[in-house]
């Protein structure tokens, strides 16, 4: 019987064959395992691949053989490889794209062309008789192979003919090699090791090598030095250093560069807390499941300020004490400094943090620390659900209702919650979903007894949940107040500041409604490429599109009617800041939005400034809605609740309820009582009324009733097919064909919405049409969507289009 292996390979063309079969020689039998990275022949090139399976038989008779195993132990743990296959199937995504999510980019390997001198070369030819280009090339190769690209960069493209010439004469060889990407993860240090008593001899010996002598002299004065520094500052070359090393006068060693992203000390927190009864009860239930290796999902429904973080921390400590690893997922790292500070304060080096702001090198370090078991706990955003934590026993998803847990672009379009459920099921571990406002789906599952519900109904501190006051903006306008602050909000800010307390003001979405509008014809200025309004930015007085980043200055005349009356309307965070300073002269404001937080660490710095009381108001977008814990904040203002209420999405009510509850939770966390003011044009909406009363259960009952009537999730599943392309005719044409196909095959089994232009009908010059499918069986939806995809994806007339299948979409914009 043959040794067969199935390997995932990233093939250049969109291909169904993501998994190829190979033979392997007997000598690999003991080392080749699932998750191993290998090189395999594809066509006449070698490619990187990952072992997924050892099949019994293959239909193909003439199989090629695996070329090489790249590492001596599997790069991807078998457990994660299994998960990758599941994701690929569940979300209809090529498996190599799933693997790209798992492996840190710095670890990926790419073939490079290298040049090296051949052994029996004729270098005795005096260099002076050679043409200068050839001489350059040869001297560059003296110390070993060099990348072809770096030769070309150094000497220019005209060395190509010289290279060919040298190759033909058999002096050099050009070859392909694989190397992991360079990451600067370590530095080379040079140190002198000549003994004192040998020194005179050494000096004599090096008389003819003045440069080597110079290096020893430098080392005499500076002690150790980084090789890079030595080369640069003293304009030396590597060969002299290497010669000294060979002679045993110096030693090189590698030092790991410290790249751990810094955590502001302000957030480190190692205080000792005694759990209250509800927390203790939660930790006991969770720990019992962990200790008994019992597969279980908990919904930790705790009001804001009920101390969920402490429950997570204790549960994780207990898991670690049992020799298990743990994973804590958070929606956005920028809000998590306090949580990270708490975990690092207690667990120290056992914790690593994974997020998109890390450099490739930092990410690699974190990955290696987990893979080797040096770190046992990972905290991270969505993609950290793939962290290679060893002996993983517990996954916690904080703020499980957040939509950032769904990846929408690119493939795989997975939901972190579902991936976590699958991963922990294979490991027989414990999953905790934590939230003050659980998603409707999750709460439904808890009610159906699929999850164990644990409630933390009270805040830790005795103070009650803050009072929420709803202000009807229609009345404000009627009574002549055109400011973005209602009279109540204005007065409350005033009172709060007078008491020396702090305010958080929340504006949904950066510059969401700061559109530019003509007062005569009423047309607003739209992006040329996307069908959404341009946003006015005060900083450079320019308009900007938040989908494609198109920028333009504000025209002096309306492009529609020629009128000169162009005005900016609505309020973005920048405008609120301007008005705030106007209304409260001398006030100090920290503004947090995408514009002020582009720099690395800027989130932390801004929050630290507010936390230390250097500013009085924290003003921001949804990035400040959750997680923050500042005891001196006693007032939260929501400038306009309507932006989320009016989104064309069946989750708009749920999102609004969550948003108000979350921002309300930012106040009254210290010893003082907090207050919340919500401004809206829709004060009677049930989402707003129940949020005002802190009444999750009533909101849930109303919402679930409506979902059942209309048949939305959790009662049915959705799949969304998006077709986009530069020419709307073709996009529409394919959308209609697919729509028709679907109606013909399965109209009695699925409900079909569309085809129609998506609410965002054009993004980056690509027109977007969508079809939404609804049915009881997700499997069936997957099957028909995949069938349509395969039918059209490779047709020539549609090769400019993209067909995207989004399984259980979170947003349908
Ligand atoms: P949640 O995540 O549920 O909104 P947090 O975990 O942020 O709540 O906790 C709210 C506050 O209560 C934090 O300042 C936290 O340090 C504090 N806290 C939590 N548990 C305790 C406890 N058992 N004793 C004293 N303070 C606690
Ligand atoms: Zn006009
Ligand atoms: Zn645009």
In 3-state terms, what secondary structure has residue 543?
strand
**If you average pLDDT over each of 291-300, 471-480, 545-554, 616-625, which comes out highest?**
291-300
Question: Quick one: which atom of ligand 1 is closest to the CA of 456?
Answer: 3
- Percent of the chain topping pLDDT 70: 85
| Interval between CA 542 and ligand 3 midpoint (Å) | 14
What is the Cα–Cα distance from 437 to 443, expressed in whole angstroms?
Answer: 9
Contacts from 353-359 at CB under 8 Å and sequence distance 24+?
353/261, 353/378, 353/379, 353/380, 354/378, 354/379, 354/380, 354/381, 354/383, 354/384, 354/387, 355/380, 355/381, 355/384, 356/381, 356/383, 357/261, 357/333, 357/600, 358/261, 359/259
> Which pLDDT band, with edges at 50, 70 and 90, does 707 fall under?
confident
Instruction: Give me the phi and psi of 22, to 5 degrees please.
Output: -140, 165
Position 783 scores a pLDDT of 92
Query: Is there a contact between 588 and 612 (Cβ–Cβ < 8 Å)?
Result: no
Q: State the DSSP string of 365-414.
A: HHHHHHHTTS--EEEESGGGGG---TTEEEEEEETTT-GGGB--SSS---
CA distance readout (Å), 173 to 164, 286, 735: 10, 62, 53
308 lines ligand 1 (CB under 6 A): yes
| Superfamily name with CATH number, domain 265-456 | P-loop containing nucleotide triphosphate hydrolases (3.40.50.300)
pLDDT of 259 higher than 60:
no
Domain limits of the chain?
Answer: 4-108, 111-180, 186-256, 265-456, 467-510+571-707, 513-570, 717-807
DSSP state of 415: B
Which residue owns the Cα nearest ligand 1 atom 25?
Answer: 273
What tokens does 364 get?
């690699």
> Which one of 1.10.287, 1.10.10, 1.20.120, 1.25.40 gives the CATH number of domain 111-180?
1.10.10
Position 513 scores a pLDDT of 45
pLDDT of 569 higher than 60:
no
> Which pLDDT band, with edges at 50, 70 and 90, does 431 fall under?
very high
336 lines ligand 1 (CB under 6 A): no
Instruction: Give me the phi and psi of 16, to 5 degrees please.
Output: -75, -30
The model's pLDDT over 32-70, given as tens digits with 9 standing for 90+, comes to: 999 999 988 887 778 889 999 998 887 777 889 998 888
pLDDT of 690 higher than 90:
yes
Position 762 scores a pLDDT of 77
What is the Cα–Cα distance from 357 to 379, expressed in whole angstroms?
Answer: 13
> Which one of 1.10.10, 1.10.3720, 1.10.20, 1.10.1060 gives the CATH number of domain 186-256?
1.10.10
In 3-state terms, what secondary structure has residue 813?
coil
Q: What is the mean pLDDT of residues 533-537?
A: 72
CA distance readout (Å), 364 to 367, 487, 743, 792: 5, 53, 48, 39
The model's pLDDT over 718-751, given as tens digits with 9 standing for 90+, comes to: 999 999 999 999 999 999 999 999 988 876 788 8
Q: Is the pLDDT higher at 672 or at 420?
A: 420
Position 110 scores a pLDDT of 64
Q: Which of 187-191, 313-317, 379-383, 412-416 has the lowest mean pLDDT?
A: 187-191
pLDDT of 128 higher than 50:
no
Which residue owns the Cα nearest ligand 1 atom 10?
Answer: 305
Ligand at minimal distance from the CA of 560 is 2
> Which one of 3.40.1440.60, 3.30.420.40, 2.60.120.10, 3.40.50.300 gives the CATH number of domain 4-108?
3.40.1440.60
What is the Cα–Cα distance from 77 to 83, expressed in whole angstroms?
Answer: 10
pLDDT of 263 higher than 90:
no
Mutate to test the pocket of ligand 1, among 274, 277, 307, 667 (most ligand atoms within 8 A of CB): 307
Q: What is the mean pLDDT of residues 390-403?
A: 94
331 lines ligand 1 (CB under 6 A): no
Domain boundaries 467-510+571-707, corresponding CATH code:
3.40.50.300
> In angstroms, how far apart are the furthest CA atoms of the chain?
97
Mutate to test the pocket of ligand 1, among 270, 277, 302, 310 (most ligand atoms within 8 A of CB): 310
Q: What pairing do the DSSP bridges indicate for beta strands 675-680 and 467-472? A: parallel
Same fold, 265-456 and 467-510+571-707: yes
Query: Is there a contact between 267 and 261 (Cβ–Cβ < 8 Å)?
Result: no
**If you average pLDDT over each of 556-565, 658-667, 796-805, which comes out highest?**
796-805
First to last CA, the chain: 54
What is the Cα–Cα distance from 695 to 44, expressed in whole angstroms?
Answer: 65
Q: ∠420-424-428 over CA atoms, to 5°? A: 170
| Interval between CA 568 and ligand 2 midpoint (Å) | 13
Q: What is the mean pLDDT of residues 473-502?
A: 86
Position 722 scores a pLDDT of 93
Q: E-assigned strands of 45-108? A: 45-53, 68-69
Residues listed for the chain: 813
Query: Is there a contact between 679 and 639 (Cβ–Cβ < 8 Å)?
Result: yes
Binding site residues for Zn(2+), as ranges? Answer: 518, 521, 527, 530, 545, 548, 558, 561
Which residue owns the Cα nearest ligand 1 atom 5?
Answer: 307
574 lines ligand 1 (CB under 6 A): no
> Cβ of 572: how many Cβ atoms within 10 Å?
25
Q: Could you name the CATH architecture of 717-807?
A: 2-Layer Sandwich (3.30)
Q: Is the pLDDT higher at 354 or at 477?
A: 354
**If you average pLDDT over each of 207-221, 369-383, 574-588, which comes out highest?**
369-383
Q: Which of 392-396, 461-465, 511-515 has the lowest mean pLDDT?
A: 511-515
Q: How many CA atoms lie within 13 A of 350 on its CB side?
A: 20
What is the Cα–Cα distance from 361 to 379, expressed in whole angstroms?
Answer: 17
Question: Quick one: which atom of ligand 1 is closest to the CA of 460?
Answer: 12
Q: ∠602-613-540 over CA atoms, to 5°? A: 45
Which residue owns the Cα nearest ligand 1 atom 20?
Answer: 307
Query: Is there a contact between 357 and 600 (Cβ–Cβ < 8 Å)?
Result: yes
pLDDT of 805 higher than 90:
yes
Question: Quick one: which atom of ligand 1 is closest to the CA of 304?
Answer: 4
Mean pLDDT of the chain: 83
In 3-state terms, what secondary structure has residue 805?
strand
Query: Is there a contact between 760 and 648 (Cβ–Cβ < 8 Å)?
Result: no
Strand partners, 307: none
Q: What is the mean pLDDT of residues 465-487?
A: 83
Query: Is there a contact between 398 and 330 (Cβ–Cβ < 8 Å)?
Result: yes
Position 313 scores a pLDDT of 94
The model's pLDDT over 140-199, given as tens digits with 9 standing for 90+, comes to: 887 778 888 888 888 877 787 888 888 887 788 777 665 555 455 566 778 888 776 777
Ligand at minimal distance from the CA of 543 is 3
With residues binned 3-state (H G I as helix, E B as strand, rest as coil), the percentages for the chain, rounded to 5, are 40, 25, 40
What is the Cα–Cα distance from 356 to 719, expressed in whole angstroms?
Answer: 28
Position 650 scores a pLDDT of 76
CA distance readout (Å), 781 to 192, 244, 421, 777, 784: 69, 69, 21, 7, 5
Ligand at minimal distance from the CA of 523 is 2
pLDDT of 329 higher than 90:
yes
> Cβ of 566: how many Cβ atoms within 10 Å?
17
Nearby residues of 300 by Cβ (< 8 Å), 6 or more positions away: 282, 308, 311, 432, 433, 434, 435, 454, 456
Provide the residues around ligand 3 (an ion) whose CB is within 5 A: 527, 529-530, 545, 547-548, 550
> Which pLDDT band, with edges at 50, 70 and 90, does 510 fall under?
very low
**If you average pLDDT over each of 401-410, 446-455, 588-597, which comes out highest?**
446-455
What tokens does 285 get?
């239930």
Contacts from 165-172 at CB under 8 Å and sequence distance 24+?
165/134, 166/134, 166/137, 166/138, 170/118, 170/121, 171/117, 171/118, 171/121, 171/122, 171/138, 172/115, 172/116, 172/117, 172/118, 172/121, 172/137, 172/141
């Amino acid at each position: 019987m043959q040794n067969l292996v199935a390997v995932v390979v990233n093939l250049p063309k969109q291909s169904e064959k993501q998994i190829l079969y190979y033979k392997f020689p007997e000598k690999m039998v003991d080392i080749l395992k699932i998750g191993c990275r290998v090189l395999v022949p594809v066509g006449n090139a070698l490619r990187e691949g990952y072992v997924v399976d050892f099949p019994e038989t293959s239909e193909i008779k003439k199989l090629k053989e695996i070329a090489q195993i790249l590492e001596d132990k599997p790069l991807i743990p078998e457990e994660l490889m299994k998960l990758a296959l599941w994701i690929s199937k569940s979300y209809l995504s090529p498996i190599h794209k799933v693997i790209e999510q798992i492996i840190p980019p710095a670890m990926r390997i790419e073939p490079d062309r290298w040049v090296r001198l051949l052994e029996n070369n004729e270098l005795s030819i005096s260099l002076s008789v050679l043409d200068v280009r050839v001489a350059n090339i040869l001297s560059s190769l003296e110390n070993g192979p060099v990348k072809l690209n770096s030769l070309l960069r150094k000497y220019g493209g005209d060395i190509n003919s010289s290279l060919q010439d040298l190759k033909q004469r058999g002096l050099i060889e050009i070859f392909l090699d694989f190397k992991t990407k360079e990451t600067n993860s370590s530095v080379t240090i040079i140190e002198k090791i000549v003994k004192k008593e040998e020194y005179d001899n050494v000096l004599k010996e090096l008389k003819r090598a003045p440069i080597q002598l110079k290096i020893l002299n430098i080392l005499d004065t500076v002690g150790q030095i980084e090789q890079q520094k030595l080369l640069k500052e003293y304009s030396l070359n590597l060969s002299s250093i290497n010669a000294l090393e060979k002679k045993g006068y110096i030693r090189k060693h590698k030092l790991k560069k410290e790249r751990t992203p810094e955590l502001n000390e302000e957030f480190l927190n190692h205080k000792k807390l005694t759990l209250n009864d509800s927390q203790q009860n939660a930790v006991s239930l969770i720990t019992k499941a962990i200790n008994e290796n019992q597969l279980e999902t908990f919904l930790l429904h705790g009001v804001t300020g009920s101390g969920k973080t402490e429950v997570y921390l204790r549960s994780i400590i207990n898991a670690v004490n049992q020799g298990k690893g743990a994973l804590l997922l958070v929606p956005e790292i920028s809000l998590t400094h306090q949580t990270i500070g708490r975990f690092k304060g207690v667990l120290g080096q056992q914790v690593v943090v994974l997020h998109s702001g890390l450099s490739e090198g930092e990410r690699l370090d974190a990955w290696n620390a987990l893979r080797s078991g040096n770190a046992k706990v990972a905290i991270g955003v969505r993609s950290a659900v793939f962290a290679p934590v060893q002996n993983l026993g517990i996954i916690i998803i904080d703020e499980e209702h957040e939509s950032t847990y769904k990846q929408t672009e690119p493939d795989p379009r997975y939901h972190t919650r579902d991936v976590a459920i699958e991963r922990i099921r294979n490991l027989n571990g414990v999953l905790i979903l934590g939230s003050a406002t659980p998603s409707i789906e999750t709460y439904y599952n808890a009610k159906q007894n699929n999850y164990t519900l644990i409630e933390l109904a009270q805040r830790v501190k005795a103070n009650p949940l803050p009072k929420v006051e709803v202000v009807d903006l229609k009345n404000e306008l009627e009574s002549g107040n055109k400011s973005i602050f209602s009279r109540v909000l204005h007065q409350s800010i005033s009172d709060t500041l007078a008491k020396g307390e702090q305010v958080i003001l929340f504006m949904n979405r950066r510059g969401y409604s700061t559109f530019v509008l003509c007062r005569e014809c009423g047309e607003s200025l739209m992006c040329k490429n996307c069908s959404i309004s341009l946003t006015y930015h005060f900083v450079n007085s320019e308009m900007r599109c938040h989908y494609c980043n198109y920028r333009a200055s504000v025209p002096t005349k309306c492009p529609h009617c020629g009128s000169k009356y162009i005005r900016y309307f609505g309020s973005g965070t920048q405008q609120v800041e301007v008005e705030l300073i106007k209304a409260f002269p001398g006030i100090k404001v920290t503004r947090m939005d995408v514009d002020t937080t582009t720099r690395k660490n800027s989130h932390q710095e801004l929050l630290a400034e507010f936390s230390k009381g250097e500013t009085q108001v924290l003003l921001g977008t949804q990035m400040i809605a959750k997680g923050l814990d500042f005891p001196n904040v006693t007032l939260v203002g929501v400038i306009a609740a309507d932006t989320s209420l009016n989104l064309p999405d069946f989750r708009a009510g749920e999102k609004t309820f969550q948003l108000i509850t979350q921002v309300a939770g930012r106040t009254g966390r210290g010893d003082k009582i907090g207050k919340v003011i919500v401004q809206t044009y829709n004060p009677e909406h049930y989402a707003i009324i129940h949020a005002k009363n802190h009444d999750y259960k009533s909101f849930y009952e109303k919402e679930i009733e409506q979902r059942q009537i209309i048949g939305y999730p959790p009662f049915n599943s959705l799949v969304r097919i998006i077709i986009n392309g530069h020419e709307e005719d073709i996009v529409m044409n394919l959308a209609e064909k697919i729509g028709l196909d679907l109606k013909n095959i399965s109209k009695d089994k699925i409900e079909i919405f569309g085809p129609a232009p998506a609410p965002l009908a054009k993004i980056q010059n690509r027109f977007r049409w969508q079809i939404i499918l609804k049915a009881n069986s997700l499997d069936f939806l997957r099957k028909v969507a995949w069938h349509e995809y395969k039918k059209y994806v490779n047709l020539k007339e549609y090769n400019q289009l993209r067909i995207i299948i989004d399984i259980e979409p979170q947003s349908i914009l």
